[in-house]
Chain A
């Protein structure tokens, strides 16, 4: 942010950390990278019963340039790999990634010629979420894990 260059790791920057992290973690703007089955459970998570808005992360933006949390929901294939990378690159820093479901985490049951064995081969992943597909509660838990992770970050690291 520029301040850290002047003040270093002092009380001023740590207090700024708190404010900035508080803002970031409670207003995540997810980029729903819905590829397959998991995308439907992702939609259920935003829908009335599970209501992701309670966690401040309901503003799904299909434009990567407006988002800071990428939820890779579904099987990443080789044909889609380049697109995945491009979309990730278009997101502004700081950004986080949830690999939702078995396919995004590890390739899942699709151990074939066409499937990338886990999205971490292409982009860095912060939270792996198992399940085929994971329940909406699990996705909420993943978002909470991201929030916890944000809390530990510092503006100095950037």
Chain B
């Protein structure tokens, strides 16, 4: 039955309090029987005014707020912002800190994809995966806690480096995880990849072509599922990603199943990147030694008067980058995460615009759902891997 044959179009409200909308997304669905005629997303239920708040914070203070945008991948958010500020200041972080950033970014990518897999499978009705994924997430949270002291919102990156060096025993712990993880992915795949129910729910559902995906501005796994081989880690390498050897998986048809496969493969690739980065991590400083912009090393605060003064000045007064504007982007787990920073030469950013990948990916939802069944809606939303924190900001 299509809309042409019947006259009755029914409006259904979905969300903002709904288990499968991954937060506070609201959809207004115009239904013809079981078929979706139009789906209009309503967002803003988590609009916290981060961009306005940024204009009243110093450059260092804003790092804490970036965590709370995409709270599933705090490191990528920290990094994207800090890269923008570093570009504005025209400085580069030391090699060791770049490697530390890679290790933690890729671990958060795995962590974020695990949460996506857990909830996506749960939405479609596979509960076991949820428990499996959270088991691995807890291990990752322990690892993050070792490095940054927090389980979720790390705030570990600093302008010019990272907050502190990797603690003793960190590399061993990560190595243990990296060695175990491929077998874990195989576990998930035995549950899902060839599962008949899973295939029926995901194959040829939520299809978007490559041209449409580009025009709608999708990025990350959502566009790669449609066969567009674009990964910012490859096309515009940052933070020494050009020294890592990895492949960018792509799908073919651009359906939910392809996006699932892309993310599963990305977890494997991230795992390998972490392994490479650990094997080749250079010795050296973890934060650059430019007293006016970068925090001094924590150990020096106890010994050096100058370090203490610089620390005090940066914390109380902040830093004043030159007048100008930059745009820096990173490949976050969800896609292109960009920060547009305008500086007027004072200690507060004049304007910070965050380009959140989920915000743009969600725009494609309407295109993917129209003409599909109501039950497919949750499958498609799950496959986009949205986080409302960064959509609404």
Contacts and interface: CB of A to CB of B under 8 A. Distances in A.
A110 B53 contact: yes
A87 B47 CA distance: 19
A109 B63 CA distance: 12
A139 B131 CA distance: 19
B388 interface: yes
B353 interface: no
A68 interface: no
B34 interface: no
Nearest to B48: A110
Interface string B53-64: 100000000001
A80 B68 contact: no
A133 interface: yes
A44 B65 CA distance: 22
Interface residues of B, number: 36
B169 interface: no
Interface string A104-141: 00000111111100000000000000001101000000
B18 interface: yes
Given A34-B23, A37-B389, A77 B151 contact: no
B135 A62 contact: no
Given A36-B68, A43-B134, A109-B65, A80 B52 contact: no
A33 interface: yes
Given A36-B71, A133-B153, A49 B138 contact: yes
A146 B18 CA distance: 25
Given A47-B138, A62-B19, A110-B53, A80 B72 contact: no
B298 to A, nearest CB: 22
Interface string A75-114: 1010110010001000000000000000000000111111
A88 B138 CA distance: 31
Contacts of B153: 37, 132-133
A2 interface: no
A35 interface: yes
Contact of B17 (A43, A87, A112): A87
A64 B18 CA distance: 11
B167 interface: no
Given A62-B18, A77-B45, A77-B46, A112 B24 contact: no
A37 B68 contact: yes
A157 to B, nearest CB: 29
Contacts of B152: 37, 40-41, 133
B137 interface: yes
Given A33-B17, A62-B17, A80-B24, A114 B72 contact: no
Given A114-B47, A114-B48, A36 B135 contact: no
Nearest to A60: B19
B138 A79 contact: no
A75 B235 CA distance: 36
A47 B48 CA distance: 28
Interface string A52-86: 00000000001010000000001101011001000
Interface residues of A, number: 32
A113 B51 CA distance: 11
A51 to B, nearest CB: 10
B138 A115 contact: no
Contact of B23 (A36, A41, A48): A36
A77 to B, nearest CB: 6
Contacts of A75: 46, 48
A112 B48 contact: yes
B24, B71, B131, B137: which has the most chain A beta carbons within 10 Å? B24
Contacts of B53: 109-112
A64 B17 CA distance: 10
B23 A35 contact: yes
A47 B134 contact: yes
A109 B130 CA distance: 31
Interface string B132-145: 00110110010000
Interface of A: 33-37, 39-41, 43-44, 47-49, 62, 64, 74-75, 77, 79-80, 83, 87, 109-115, 132-133, 135
Interface of B: 16-19, 23-24, 44-50, 52-53, 64-65, 67-68, 71-72, 115, 118, 130-131, 134-135, 137-138, 141, 151-153, 388-389, 392
What 8 A-B pairs come out closest when comparing CB atoms? A112-B49, A47-B134, A37-B71, A114-B49, A62-B19, A110-B48, A49-B138, A80-B45
